[in-house]
Structure 1
Amino acid sequence: MNPLGFGDPLRLGPYRLLGVLGEGGMGKVYLAAGADGSPAAVKVLRPELAHDQHLAQRFVREAHTAQAVRSRGVARVLDAQMEGGRPWIATEFLAGPTLDQAVARYGPLDEPTVRALAAALGETLRDIHAAGLIHRDVKPPNIVLTSDGPRVIDFGIARPEHGLTLTTTGQIPVTPGYGAPEQVLGRRVTGAADVFSLGAVLVYAATGRRAYEGAHVAAVQYAVVHEQPNLVGLPPALHQLIAPCLAREPELRPTPEQIAQAFVPDRRATRDVWRRGPLHQEVKRRETEIARQTKAAASTVVAGAAAPSRRRFLAAWGGGGALLLAGGGGTAWWLGGREEHTLPPAGDAPEAPLLDQAGAGIRPTPLWGPVDVAATGPLPPPVVLRDVVVFPDREGGLTALKVVDGSTKWKLPGLSKVARQIPLNLTEFAAADASGRLVVHDASTSAEGWSLPEAEAAFLLAAVPDTLYLLTTKGGLRAVDVATRTIRWTVPSTERVTDTRGPLAAAADDHLVLSGSDGTVTAYAKATGSRAWELRGQSTETLQPAIDDGTVYLGGRTLTAVALTTGKQQWSIAPSPQRSWGPPAVDADGVTATQGRAVRRYAKDGSSPDFWYADLNGDFPDPQPPVVQGDCLWTVESANGDSGVSGISIPEGKRVWTYERDNTGPWAMTAKANRVFLISKGKVAALPTF
C-alpha cells in the first residue's frame, strides 16, 4: 500500500481514506476505514474521466452489477455515490492474498484444498449466473483467499448473458490461457465460459502452472482454441473432474452447480480446509492487522485527535500485515511527532515536439543542458518516469531533473548509486541504500512508498509489475514479491558487483533472463528461481538482453533470437570475421544492433538482412543497446573511439547528426516522450528527435 498523495481525498462519504492500494486507467483504489472501523476498499474514478458521461455510467454500472449478485463468494458492495463530481464505490476489503500470490509463495494446493476451492467457486459462479450475469474474467488474480474461503472480485467486465465477447482494439480483453475458446473467437458466450475459466484456474491451483502455455499471447490463444490442455501432474480424481470443464464445446461443460456438488459433498470439510496450515496463518495475520489499523483510524477520529498528515502515512503493508516505518525495522500506526519534509507536487510531462528531417546533418541543439550534476564514470541508463529523469548524483544518492527544462526537482542522498535504480511500474522506481534496504519511491514526488529492510540488495537487475529481481550482498539471486512485499525465493549466484558494473538482465512474463560476466545467458523461472535454460558461449562479456513478445534477443558472437520459455533458437546471424554484435534494441518494427563499424537493422523474425546498414566510427560492442525514439535510432558511435552519440534515420538507415563528436564517453542513454537523455562525464542533456 502506498501513501496518499497530492490530490487524493482524505474522506469520501463515511469513509476515511488511509492509503492507495492501486490504480489503473480508470481510477484509484484506496484502503479506507468506515465509521465503525471496518475496512473497505474505495474505488474512485479519475477526475479527468469523471466528466465523460459514458465512462461515469460504466463505472456506476460496475457497482450495480456487483450489487445484483447475492453470494458469500463475492466482495460485497457497501456503498456507491457521486461526491464532488467524482463517482466512487466502496466494497468489502479482502486482506488475504490472491490465488496466484498464494501458489507462488506456498506452492500448489493439495487435493482437499483444490476440491474445496472448486466447490466454493462453483457455488459463487452459480450465484453470479443466477443474477443473469457472466463474470468473463475468472483467473487467479481475481480470486482472493480469506479465512472463510475464496472470494471472486472484479466485476468491471461482467455483463448480461446476451452480450458478445469483445476482443478487438478498445474492447474488453480475454486473459490468455483463461478465456474460453468462444471468447477468444469473439463469439456469443454463456455462463459456460466462466466454467472453462474455472477449469483453467483449478489446473493452476493444483499444479502451479497453466493449462495452456505458449511463447507469446497468440500461441496461448491458439492452444486454447485448437489444442488439448496440459493436465500432467493432476491427481487422477481431480483429472476426471477438471477435464470436462475445459471442453472446447460449451454444451459439454458441467454447470457450476454440478461442479459444487461433485468436488466437495462434505460442506464441513470445505470450511475446515480454510482454517489450517501456513496459508491460513498468513490470511489471519493480514486480516487481524488491517482490522487493527482501520479501527485505530476510526477511534482517532472519534476521540477528536488531530488527523495525521497524509505525508506521514509513509508505510507499506507487507506480507505479514505489518506497516513498516520508512526507516525500516519496526511497526507503527502513525509516524507521530516526526517532522516531514515538503514533497514536490506530482506531475506528468508532455511530449516534446518532433523535429523535421530537413535539419539533418546539423548538430542538434539540446532541449536543455548539459547540466553538470551527475556522478562520473560508467553509469546505468537513467530512469525516466512521469515528469522526471532519475540518475546517480555526483555528491551521492540520486537526483531527479524535470524532463521539460532540466531543473532539479528532488534529491535523495541516502540511496546507493552502485545498486542502480530501475522502474517498478508506470509511476515508481526501486533503489537501495547502503545497508541493502530495498526502497520504492514515487518518481515524481520522491515519496517513499514501501521498503524491505531484509532484502539485502546489492544490485537491482530487472522488474515486472509483480516481481523485482536483485543480487544480494551475500552472493544470492533473489526475487521479491511486489504485491506482498516479501522475499519469494533466493538461489545461489556466482555474479559479483564492482562499482556500478554487474550482470545485465531483462524480465517478462514468467522468466528472468540474466547475462553474466562471462557472457553466459541464463533464464530463471519467476515462481521458483529454478533454471529454465542456459546458453553458454554467447559472448565474452555481459551484454544487455532484450525481450519482446515471448522472444529473447541477444548480442555477442551471434545476433540471436531464442524462445523465452525454452531457450530454443529461433534464428541466428553471425557477424563478419572478428567482429561481435553489440546488445540489440527491439521496437515495434524491427531489431537493431551494432556490429564492428556498422549498425544493422533486421525484421524481428531475422529476415530482411538488407533492411538497412549504416557506417559508424569505431569498434563495438558498446555495453548498452541503441535506443529508439520517433523515427530515429540513437547509438554510441564507439566504445573506444573518438566519436559521440549519433542519431540514425530508421526509414533511411543514414546518420542524421552526431552529438559531441569528440566525447569518448562512457555514455549512459535512454529515451522517452520524444526526448533522448544522455549522460557523460557528469553532464546530463536532453536532445530532440524527429
Structure 2
Amino acid sequence: MRPLGPGDPLRLGPYRIVGVLGEGGMGKVYLGRDAAGGPAAVKVLLPELAHDRHLADRFVREARTARAVTSEGVARVLGAEPESGRPWIASEFLAGPTLDEAVRRHGPFGDALLRELARSLARTLQDIHVTGLVHRDLKPQNVVLTSRGPRIIDFGIARPEHGLTLTRTGQIPVTPGYGAPEQVLGQRVGPAADVFSLGAVLAFAACGRPAYAGTEVAAVLYEVVHGAPDLDLVPPPLRDLVAPCLARDPAARPLPGQVADAALPPAGSERFWTTGPLADDIRRREAAARELTGGQRRPAGTAPHRTPDGPRPSRRRLLGTLAGGGALLAAGAGGAVWWRGGVDAGSSDPFDIPPAVRVAAAEPAGDTGEITPLWGPSTDVADANSPRPLPVRDVVVFAAAGGGIAAHGVTDGKERWRAEARADAGYLSVGDRLVATADEDGVLRTYVAATGAAKWTADVRADVLLAADAGHVYLLTDEGALRCVATADARVRWTRRPPVALTGRPAAALGAGLLVVCGGSGDVAAVRAEDGAKAWVREGQAAAALAPAVGNGVVHLGGHTLAAVRAEDGEELWSRDPLHAVRDDGYGWGPPTVAGGEVYAVDSEALRHLSADGDPVSVGFVKGTAPPWQPPVVQADSVWVVESEDTGVSGLPRSAGAEAALATALTYPLTGGAGRTAAGDRNRLFVLNAGTLVALPVY
C-alpha cells in the first residue's frame, strides 16, 4: 500500500480515503475509514472508464452478487454506489496475507492446517452456491487469511449458475492453472468449476507450487484440459482429498459439503489462525490497519491491541507493515484478472523465475582493418541520456526513446520487449534472469529478461538502483536511505542511513560481502551487504560519483588517485597518482575495471594497465577522452574505451609489454556523442550514442 497521490479522492461516500491498496488498468482499490474509524476496502473505476457501459454493467453486477452472499467466509460488502458518477464498492477490509503470500513466507501448509483450510473454503463455497452463484475465480490471491479464518474475496466475475462469463474482447475469462477445464473451453459453468479451483488452491497450499504449470499461458491451459495435475509433492493422505476435486469431468468432482466432511481437521484446528508464526503475521497486519485508520474495532476472539510505550509508529511504517514489508498487498474487493488489466504470461507465481537463457559467445574478429558491426546501428531507439546498456544473457537493456526501458536481442538487435519505468533510476540484472527497475512511484519492478514478463514488485520508495545479485537488490530511497530487498519474497531486509551523504546519482558495486557506494561528492562508503552496517568510509576520493570495482577482497577506486583498499577494513594497499596533476576536474582517474586480477582505468588521455599490486604494465593512448569517463570494457583479448566528441570507441590489446604500449587503437567512429556509453558481454560490445544502439565485434 502507498500514500495518496495527485488525482486520488479524499472521500468516497461515507469513507475518508487513507491510502492506495492496489491498482490496475481499469481501476484502484483504496483503504478508507468510516466515521467510527472502521476500515474498508473501496474499489473504484477509473474516471475515464466510468462511462464505459460494459464495465459499468459489470461493476453493478459485482455489487449485487457480492451483497447476495452473506457467508462468514467472504469479505462482506459494506456499501456501494455503482451507478454514481464515480462508481465504488466498499467491502470489509481484510488486512491479513493472501494465501499465496502466506505460502511464500511461511512455507507449504502441514496436514492439519491444510485440512482446516479445506474445510473452511469448502463451507464458504457451499454458502456461495446456495445463493445460486458461482465464484469462478477462486485462486490463492483471492483467499485472505484472517484471525477468524480464510476469507474468499473478489466477485468480479461471479455469475448465476446459468449465466455466461462477461469478458472484454481478447481476455481469458479464467486464471490459468486454477480455472476448470469447462471454463477454459468456454462451456457452461456450474458449482463444480469452483470445486476444481478449490482443488488447485489446496494443491498449491500443500506443496508451494501450482498443480498445472507451463512456460506459456497456452501450455498451462492445455494441461488443465488434457493433462494431469502434478501432485507429487502433496503428501499421500492429502492427495486423496485434493485429487478428486481436479477431475476433468465436472460430474466426477465431489460437492463442497463432501469436501468439507472429508477434510476431517483435528479438534481445535481453528487455533491455527490465532497462534503460531502465520497467526503472528496476521495479527501484526490487523494491528497496523487499526493504527492507520484509528479504528477501535477488532476481530472477534482476539485480544485488544495495546500500543507500546514510546512514539506511535509512523504512517509510512504502518503502510509498510500492511504491505508485508514490501510485497504488494491483495486486499478485499481487489485483484480480479480484469482489474489488473490482463493475465501474466507464464506462471502466475511472481517468484517462479525461468532458468537463465544460454547464449553462445560471438567469435572474436581480427585486430586489423575496419570494424564491421555485428548489427545496427539502430537509430532513434534509445533515450539520449540512457544509462549504460545492460547485457543480460540474450538481451541488452537500455532507456527507450519515448520513455521506459527496452530490451533488444543481443544476436540480432531486434526489440524483444519494453516496459514502463523511470529509466533514470537505473536498471539492474538480478542473477542474470531478471531485470529490476523502478517506476515513478518508487515501486521496484522486475521482469523476466528473456521475455519481459512482469514478476514481483515491492513498494520501497526506490530512487536510485545501486547494485544487485541473485539474492538481493540494493537501492537508495527517495529519503536518502540505503535499502536491501530480498529477491526470494520481495521483502525489505534492512534500511540504513548511509555513513556519508550520497548526493547526486551514486555509483556502487557489490563484492567481498560489501556494498561500496560513491556519491556525487566523491566520498566513498562501504557497508556490510548482510545488514547495512558501516564497514568503512573514504572521504574526498573523487570529484564526482565514480563506480568502484571489487575483486579478490580489494576495492579499487578512481578519482584524484587510483587507489586499492582492503575490503575488510578500508586500509589503503596502494595508490597511484595520475599522469597530470588534477585541476578543474579536467584530469584524474576514471572508474576502474578489474579483469583477470589486473586493473584497467582511463588516466587523462591514456588507458593504463596495472597489476594487482599496482605496478604499471602498459599504457595505451586514446583520443578525445573527457569526464565523465566510462569504465573500460574488457572483452576477449581487447580493452575498449569510450571517447568523446567525434572520435568513437576504441579497442586496445590486453596483452602486456612494449607491444601493447605502442599498439595502435582500433576505432569505430561515432558522431554526436551525447550520452555515449558502452558495455560488453560474451565477446560483444554494445554502444549507445545519441539514441543509437550498435553491437560491435571484439578481438
Q: TM-score range by the shorter chain?
A: 0.5 to 0.7
Question: Is residue 78 from structure 1 mapped to residue 86 from structure 2 by the alignment?
Answer: no
- Shift in Å, 1:363: 10
The sequence identity of aligned pairs, in percent, is 47
Alignment partner, residue 308 of structure 2: none
Q: In the aligned structure 1, how far is the partner of 2:81 from the partner of 2:402?
A: 31
Contact 1:78 1:90 (8 Å CA) reproduced: yes
Letter paired with 2:444: A
How many residues align structurally? 440
Are the aligned partners of 1:620 and 1:639 in contact in 2 as well (CA < 8 Å)?
no
Offset, 1:136: 1.1
For 2:272, give the aligned amino acid. V
Q: For 2:31, what is the secondary structure of its paired residue? A: strand
Q: Once the two structures are superposed, what CA deviation does each residue of 1:550-577 show, in whole Å capped at 9, x if it has no partner?
A: xxxxxxxxxxxxxxxxxxxxxxxxxxxx
The change in CA–CA distance for 1:638 and 1:223 in structure 2 (over 3 A counts) is farther
Amino acid at match of 1:145: L
1:317 and 2:328 are equivalent in the alignment: no
| Matched residue, 2:163 | 163
Give the aligned partner of residue 275 of structure 2. Answer: 276
**Which residue does 1:193 correspond to in 2?**
193
Q: For the structure 1 residues 245 and 16, does the alpha-carbon distance in structure 2 shift closer, same or farther, using more than 3 Å as the test?
A: same
Conserved 8 A contact 2:244-2:253: yes
CA gap of 1:254–1:100, structure 2 versus 1, over 3 A, is same
Q: 1:29 to 1:384 in 2, by over 3 A?
A: farther
Alignment CA distance shift 1:30-1:260 (3 Å): same
Q: Following TM superposition, by how much is the alpha carbon of 1:285 offset from its aligned partner in structure 2, in angstroms?
A: 0.9
Structure 1 contact 470–479 (Cα < 8 Å) conserved: yes
Tell me: CA distance 1:494–1:316, structure 2 relative to 1, closer, same or farther (3 Å). Answer: same
Does the CA contact (< 8 Å) of 2:383 and 2:401 recur in 1? no
Match of 2:108?
Answer: 108
The structural deviation recorded for 1:4 is 0.6
**1:79-478 alignment, distance < 5 Å:** 79-81=79-81, 85-164=85-164, 169-264=169-264, 269-295=268-294, 317-319=319-321, 381-383=397-399, 422-424=436-438, 428-430=442-444, 450-451=460-461, 459-460=467-468, 469-470=472-473, 478=486
Separation (CA, whole Å) in 2 of partners of 1:385 and 1:146: 46
Q: Deviations over 1:416-459 (max 9, x none)?
A: 9999994356965539xxxxxxxxxxxxxxxx953599xx9851
Deviation string for 1:55-106 (max 9, x for gaps)? Answer: 1221122111111111111111111115871111111111000111101111
| 3-state SS of paired residue (2:127) | helix
Give, in whole Å, the separation in 1 of the partners of 2:424 and 2:219.
Answer: 45
Alpha carbons of structure 1 residues 370 and 161: separation in structure 2 relative to 1, 3 Å: closer
Change (3 A) 1:638 1:221: farther
Q: Which residue of 1 aligns with 2:51?
A: 51
Instruction: Quote the Cα distance in structure 2 between the aligned partners of 1:212 and 1:621.
Output: 47
CA distance in 2, matches of 1:100, 1:368: 38
Cα deviation 1:450-472 (Å, max 9, x = unaligned):
3599xx9851369xxxxx95379
Q: Is the 8 A contact 2:134 2:158 kept in 1?
A: yes
SS in structure 1 of the partner of residue 487 of structure 2: strand
| SS of structure 2 residue aligned to 1:86 | coil
Q: State the distance in 2 between where 1:685 and 1:149 align.
A: 55
Structure 2 CA distance for aligned equivalents of residues 477 and 450 of structure 1: 8
SS at match of 1:51: coil
Letter paired with 2:35: A
How far off its partner does 1:378 sit?
11
Q: Which amino acid is 2:473 matched to?
A: L
Q: How far did 1:375 drift?
A: 9.1
Could you tell me how far 1:313 is from its partner in structure 2?
Answer: 6.4
Q: Deviations over 1:655-683 (max 9, x none)?
A: xxxx73889953489xxxxxxx9955xxx
Alignment correspondent of 2:69: 69
**SS of the residue 2:230 aligns to:** coil
Aligned to 1:551: none
Tell me which amino acid in the other structure corresponds to 2:671. E
Counterpart CA distance in 1 for 2:435 and 2:209 is 31
- Runs (5+) with no aligned partner, structure 1: 299-311, 325-361, 391-402, 404-408, 432-447, 463-467, 501-516, 519-618, 624-635, 645-658, 670-676
Do the aligned partners of 1:166 and 1:172 also contact (CA within 8 Å) in 2? Answer: no
Structure with larger Rg = 2
- 1:271 maps to a residue whose letter is E
Task: Say whether the 8 Å CA contact 1:122–1:257 is kept in structure 2.
Answer: yes
Query: Does the 8 A contact of 1:81 with 1:87 survive in 2?
Result: yes
Contact 2:94 2:144 in 1 (8 A): yes
SS of equivalent to 2:62: helix
Farther off after superposition, 251-260 or 160-169: 160-169
SS at match of 2:292: helix
- Give CA-to-partner distance per residue, 1:320-351, whole Å, 9 cap, x none: 77999xxxxxxxxxxxxxxxxxxxxxxxxxxx
- Establish whether residue 660 from structure 1 lines up as the match of residue 663 from structure 2: no
Q: Distance in 2 between matches of 1:238 and 1:97?
A: 23
Please give the alpha-carbon distance, in whole angstroms, between the structure 1 residues aligned to 2:235 and 2:389.
59
Tell me, in whole angstroms, the C-alpha distance in 2 between the residues paired with 1:366 and 1:205: 48
State the alpha-carbon separation in 2 of the partners of residues 382 and 314 from structure 1: 32
Q: Name the counterpart of 2:624.
A: none
How far apart in 2 are the matches of 1:177 and 1:479? 24
Q: Give me the whole-angstrom Cα distance separating, in 2, the residues matched to 1:497 and 1:56.
A: 51
Q: Which residue of 2 aligns with 1:400?
A: none
Could you state the TM-score of these two structures normalised by the residue count of structure 1?
0.53
Distance 1:374 1:81, change over 3 A: same
Q: CA deviation at 1:214?
A: 2.4
Determine the C-alpha separation between the residues in 2 that align with 1:314 and 1:472.
18
Note closer, same or farther for the CA distance 1:622–1:36 as it changes in structure 2 (3 Å cut).
Answer: farther
Q: Please report the TM-score for the alignment, with normalisation by the length of structure 2.
A: 0.53
How many angstroms does 1:294 deviate by? 0.4
**Within 1, Cα distance between the matches of 2:390 and 2:182?**
56
Residues 162/428 of structure 1: CA separation in 2 closer, same or farther (3 Å cut): farther
For 1:377 and 1:26, the matched residues in 2 are separated by 33
- State the Cα distance separating 1:368 from its structure 2 match: 11
Structure-2 change in CA distance of 1:499 and 1:51 (3 Å) = same
Corresponding residue of 1:479? 487
- Kept in 2, the 8 Å contact 1:99–1:144? The answer is yes
The 3 A distance-change label for structure 1 pair 621 and 295 is farther
Amino acid in structure 1 at the alignment position of 2:182: E
- Corresponding residue SS for 1:103: helix
Deviation at 1:479, TM superposition (A): 1.5
The answer for unaligned runs of 5 or more in structure 2 is 298-313, 327-375, 407-418, 446-457, 477-481, 495-509, 519-550, 553-634, 640-647, 653-665, 681-685, 694-699
Distance 1:260 1:376, change over 3 A: closer
Q: How far is the alpha carbon of 1:366 from its aligned partner?
A: 6.8
Matches within 5 A, 1:537-576: none
**Distance in 2 separating the partners of 1:209 and 1:252:** 24
Instruction: Return the alpha-carbon distance in structure 1 between the equivalents of residues 230 and 383 of structure 2.
Output: 56
The one-letter amino acid of 2:107's match is G
Deviation at 1:265, TM superposition (A): 6.4
CA distance in 2, matches of 1:102, 1:228: 26
